[in-house]
Structure 1
Amino acid sequence: MKRFFLLTLILLSCLSAAAFAQGQFKVLVVAIPNRYHHDYAVVAKPQFERMAQVHGFDLTWSWNSAPFDGDLSPYAAIVLLNTPGDELKGVQRGKLEAYVRAGGGVMAVHRALIFNPPGDWPWFEKLIGRTFRIHPMVQTATVRVEDASFPAAFGVPARWIWTDEWYEFHDPLVPGLRTVLSVDESSYDPTRIWPGQTARGMGKEHPVAWYHAYDGGRVFVTALGHTPALYDDPSYLAHLYGGLWWTATGKGIDAPR
């Protein structure tokens, strides 16, 4: 009897631990190394794992596009971490479209905003909301919070000194893009670029993070995050998790579903 009682306690303990380990939602991070973005993952992966532990969600990390061959429905959000849409081929693109139309969330980070060749997958470009034009050399600049009510802005100062690649974009492809952060072009030189290239900046309105409702799902986009060292910065990680939390749950603001 004593042995039976002990085994029962062990079983209940295991079940309790399993229940406790179950996260509040599931996230897929796809981090496919590419020519200009490969060393970031050494820092980014453990930081996302730590983020999952601190905030209690389940994390799946993938170095390739294989998850898009399977069932995406268990994931509340998919993070394209420096992974552009051109990494997805054939039916994988249809899987992502179906996932979003079913209410799934997508968070696109930095290099994921650049689709090549342009126009090859218009649905994905509209998911991002804007198409990439060019960027000058990495420089320090001032980032302004444009929407302090959005979770991706909760952990950053109203004026934030930040060093990054300042992507420039064409006009929005869809209505309803809501800017979260912008960069002050007077705080850096938008024309500082490599010989043979020309950058002129975007002017007074230069968004670097935004969100919108698209085709049934939620989308958060941030152009920040070029160098590996940035993934050690608490403010940047707070920016990422705020965006991820909203992308996965729609919570934190009254946002269109």
Structure 2
Amino acid sequence: MKYLLLLTLLCIAGLATPAFAQGQFKVLVVAIPNRYHHDYAVVAKPQFERMAQRHAFDLTWSWNSTPFDGDLSAYAAIVLLNTPGDELKGPQRERLASYVRAGGGVVAVHRALIFNPPGEWPWFERLIGRTFRIHPMVQTAAVRVEDPAFPATFGLPAQWIWTDEWYEFNAPVTHGLRTVLSVDESTYDPSRIWPGQTARGMGKEHPVAWYHAYDGGRVFVTALGHTPALYDDPLYLAHLYGGIWWAATGQGIDEPR
């Protein structure tokens, strides 16, 4: 009798599950392996799945660009996780642009900030807001919170010790970028780079995360996220989810942007 009751309860629970399966919004994560960024995804995927469970949103994970062959309108946000725009070809690019123009949110993480060859897709470079210049070797540095009122900083200390590739950028190609985090170049060596290359840093103002409204949509950009082990870090995951939440909903900031 006890086992029959247990079986009945399990069946009821199984029938009830679909009623609670619908999350508050749907997120597409595109994580296409590339030469320098492939091991990270093995760590990141289960963490994003846990993030989706914890924060009650629906997650679609893709290892390739095929979602851009179809309708993107179901997604409140698209996360380009170490996936640059040059992975999208032909009509896929126009589908992303149409998605953004319809009010969609985009989160660009680390390698997604680098487009090759530069200048081939100006719309995407303006979506990111800045163009990549170079980066020195991975080093530990102090990150400063520049905008404590933005959700991607809510879980971070005012100064945060972090180890990463410190991307350098050219002048902004888009107006209205709001800096969220910057790195203090006095806490690492911007010139520590491979033979034959030169890096000089950006100076006092060196943004590593920002957000803006662009072409009808919302865009959050973070240059952090090179090393696979970083995707196990609770502070980094909180940083990512804060950006995803804002990109998906527009919530969490005090005033309209």
Could you tell me which amino acid in structure 1 is paired with residue 178 of structure 2? R
Three-state SS of the structure 2 residue aligned to 1:243 is helix
In structure 2, the partner of 1:186 is 186
Three-state SS of the structure 2 residue aligned to 1:60 is strand
Q: How does 1:60-75 map to 2 (within 5 A)?
A: 60-75=60-75
Contiguous gaps of at least 5 residues in structure 2:
1-8
Shift of 1:122: 0.2
Looking at structure 1, the residues matched to 50 and 207 of structure 2 have their Cα atoms a distance apart, in angstroms, of 29
Residue 94 of structure 2 corresponds to residue 94 of structure 1 = yes
TM-score of the superposition, structure 1-length normalised?
Answer: 0.94
Could you tell me which amino acid in structure 2 is paired with residue 171 of structure 1? A
Judging changes above 3 Å, is the alpha-carbon distance between structure 1 residues 213 and 146 closer, same or farther for their aligned structure 2 residues? same
Contact 1:213 1:256 in 2 (8 A): no
Could you tell me which amino acid in structure 1 is paired with residue 76 of structure 2? A
Q: After superposition, what is the alpha-carbon deviation per residue over 1:6-48, rounded to whole angstroms, capped at 9, x for unaligned? A: xxx9998666432211100000000000000000001000000
Judging changes above 3 Å, is the alpha-carbon distance between structure 1 residues 255 and 248 closer, same or farther for their aligned structure 2 residues? farther
Contact 2:144 2:182 in 1 (8 A): yes
Residue 141 of structure 2 corresponds to residue 141 of structure 1 = yes
Contiguous gaps of at least 5 residues in structure 1:
1-8
Could you tell me which amino acid in structure 2 is paired with residue 150 of structure 1? F
Three-state SS of the structure 1 residue aligned to 2:119 is coil
In structure 2, the partner of 1:229 is 229
Q: How does 1:6-85 map to 2 (within 5 A)?
A: 16-85=16-85
The alignment covers a number of residue pairs equal to 249
Judging changes above 3 Å, is the alpha-carbon distance between structure 1 residues 10 and 136 closer, same or farther for their aligned structure 2 residues? closer
Shift of 1:255: 5.2
Q: After superposition, what is the alpha-carbon deviation per residue over 1:168-189, rounded to whole angstroms, capped at 9, x for unaligned? A: 0001111110000000000000
Residue 115 of structure 2 corresponds to residue 108 of structure 1 = no
Contact 1:27 1:59 in 2 (8 A): yes
Contact 1:32 1:64 in 2 (8 A): yes
In structure 2, the partner of 1:168 is 168
In structure 1, the partner of 2:121 is 121
Looking at structure 1, the residues matched to 55 and 211 of structure 2 have their Cα atoms a distance apart, in angstroms, of 21
Looking at structure 2, the residues matched to 161 and 96 of structure 1 have their Cα atoms a distance apart, in angstroms, of 35
Contact 2:149 2:254 in 1 (8 A): no
Looking at structure 1, the residues matched to 19 and 160 of structure 2 have their Cα atoms a distance apart, in angstroms, of 40
Looking at structure 1, the residues matched to 98 and 225 of structure 2 have their Cα atoms a distance apart, in angstroms, of 28
Looking at structure 2, the residues matched to 64 and 104 of structure 1 have their Cα atoms a distance apart, in angstroms, of 20
Looking at structure 1, the residues matched to 18 and 86 of structure 2 have their Cα atoms a distance apart, in angstroms, of 38
Aligned alpha-carbon RMSD (Å): 1.5
Contact 1:40 1:228 in 2 (8 A): yes
Looking at structure 2, the residues matched to 11 and 160 of structure 1 have their Cα atoms a distance apart, in angstroms, of 48
Looking at structure 2, the residues matched to 256 and 229 of structure 1 have their Cα atoms a distance apart, in angstroms, of 35
Could you tell me which amino acid in structure 2 is paired with residue 247 of structure 1? A
Three-state SS of the structure 2 residue aligned to 1:246 is helix
Looking at structure 2, the residues matched to 239 and 72 of structure 1 have their Cα atoms a distance apart, in angstroms, of 24
Could you tell me which amino acid in structure 2 is paired with residue 148 of structure 1? P
Judging changes above 3 Å, is the alpha-carbon distance between structure 1 residues 255 and 107 closer, same or farther for their aligned structure 2 residues? farther
In structure 1, the partner of 2:248 is 248
The structure 1 segments of at least 4 consecutive aligned residues displaced by more than 2 Å after TM superposition are 9-17, 254-257
Shift of 1:254: 3.6
Looking at structure 2, the residues matched to 15 and 129 of structure 1 have their Cα atoms a distance apart, in angstroms, of 47
In structure 2, the partner of 1:159 is 159
Looking at structure 2, the residues matched to 222 and 13 of structure 1 have their Cα atoms a distance apart, in angstroms, of 40
Contact 2:164 2:226 in 1 (8 A): yes
Looking at structure 1, the residues matched to 14 and 40 of structure 2 have their Cα atoms a distance apart, in angstroms, of 37
Percent same amino acid among aligned pairs? 85
Three-state SS of the structure 1 residue aligned to 2:163 is strand
Q: After superposition, what is the alpha-carbon deviation per residue over 1:123-160, rounded to whole angstroms, capped at 9, x for unaligned? A: 00000000000000000000000000000001111000
